[in-house]
Structure 1
């Protein structure tokens, strides 16, 4: 079963204005857990997300995904871990404009060497789930912002990752589109029993998760939140 364990992460940025960004961050999440991390600008949310993804290394502490300590791996092995076990949803969508919607969603499967038939079936399943199967042959620039983010969610989940990291996924969307994307993301995470980590400034977005933490003074503080019905 999927498991994310973060133990006593510490991270400081060196230099003339050196400061401790993360001082003692620990978190555990299991199958189907959906967790929000909130905080002021500069509080270290993006730094924490990069550490969880293995894009940066902490000064001390551990990040384990399914029992695998990311710090025990070299750069190439961490890249393979991200490719196989993680999905990403960004504020700016990051779809490839020269690829059709279908090929954008299929990209993680191609990178993981999934055969064409299995890939086609899985892409059809996800595009149907996000309501865009009839537009599979179109290019991203033909879509609205909300539709592009739905494609991004499909791409993040198509290879059935253990862990999905969402960085301000509704930051560029209007309220109606944001609500649709948040509902879709939660539904698909729960369906696949994946772990979701949502970094957001939005209390509305955070209220769609199971647990909410605020990152302040380098540590996580669990917050009471009334989960939104989505």
Structure 2
């Protein structure tokens, strides 16, 4: 039983429905990580979630729509966290170094939550096409906000192209925190990597 639409059939309106949807999404993360996307069938997802296959199809028409929902949730969580961290960068009275440590630490934790999902969406290129533009728009928003926040700190070097400065900061944090988690680096190496990233950003921003 597989329907054609790539979007959820309905939005959960009751607490029980929301719990069922979340159980399906969490189960899908584990199934995709364990079996891969191709072999991560809806039957396996339903069994891991503890729901009937019929209940799954009442919430999602197929496996693609489950992946889309996971990607949407991931992008929303990442954007919300990034906005909070940028606001900390703008308003904190702490020195730049501890603020950067806090930002990098939170981004590592974000990636650690679902490393399998990160691999699926980015390493294997399965981020749904309709969400790629959403991701690009979120990225541009963070760069613009980052430029604004950096310009308001007295301990960041004044540069002619603040947007370019923010571009490199945003992408450096995203790329290296992503790699430290996806590559399953040992804890000791991950800690050294975090410190190295902070040191690199500090030198760049105060040069």
| Larger proportion of helix | 2
Q: TM-score, normalised by structure 1?
A: 0.24
Larger relative contact order (CA 8 Å, sep ≥ 6): 1
| Larger proportion of strand | 1
Q: TM-score, normalised by structure 2?
A: 0.26
